[in-house]
Amino acid sequence: MSTKVITFGTYDVFHVGHVNILTRAHDLGDHLTVGVSTDAMNFSKKGRYPVYRQEHRLEIVASMACVDEVFIEESLDLKRQYLIDHKADILVMGNDWEGRFDEFKDICEVKYLPRTDDISTTDIIQDIRSRIDD
């Protein structure tokens, strides 16, 4: 039987940390689904809109060879439903989320993978800002 893996994120200003987690998530199973969060979700979580709008973030993630399926994640509260709808066997998240999704261990395996060091969307935006200010 094939193993379905699912992961979620914003994937704004797509970078190598995103490539690494998606590649490693894919390697854990046979089929990788990625939920890409809405612009509104990002605003409510981080107080800023993403640089790239959700349709473009979705298209970028979908273009990865390791990604089989993508969808727009409308709400954090629907996580359980998404896992059920997509028949997920494994939920993968970066270890910045360690423990935060353990409540779903009743319906799938939950794995937290180590983040790639020294890169994040927030840092990239900050770096670009500081170059402009200089």
CB neighbours of residue 41 within 10 Å: 19
The answer to whether residue 46 is catalytic is yes
Distance in Å, CB of 45 to ligand CTP, minimum: 9
Q: Which is nearer to ligand CTP, 9 or 29 (CB)?
A: 9
Distance in Å, CB of 13 to ligand CTP, minimum: 8
Torsion angle of C-alpha atoms 16, 21, 23, 27, degrees rounded to 10: 160
Residues 6+ apart with CB under 8 A from 91: 5, 6, 7, 83, 101, 104, 108, 109, 110, 111
Question: Which of 4, 45, 79, 111 is an active site residue?
Answer: 45
Name the site residues for ligand CTP (rule: CB under 6 A): 9-11, 17-18, 20-21, 93-94, 96, 115-116, 119-122
- Which structure tokens are listed for 62? 């979908």
Q: Which is nearer to ligand CTP, 31 or 116 (CB)?
A: 116
Q: Which is nearer to ligand CTP, 3 or 122 (CB)?
A: 122
Q: Which is nearer to ligand CTP, 1 or 29 (CB)?
A: 29
Distance in Å, CB of 119 to ligand CTP, minimum: 4
Question: Which of 4, 46, 79, 105 is an active site residue?
Answer: 46
Burial of 7 (0-12, 13-18, 19+ CB in 10 A): buried
Distance in Å, CB of 58 to ligand CTP, minimum: 12
Sheet of 4-9, strands arranged across? 69-73, 31-37, 4-9, 90-94, 109-113
What residues are labeled active site? 45-46
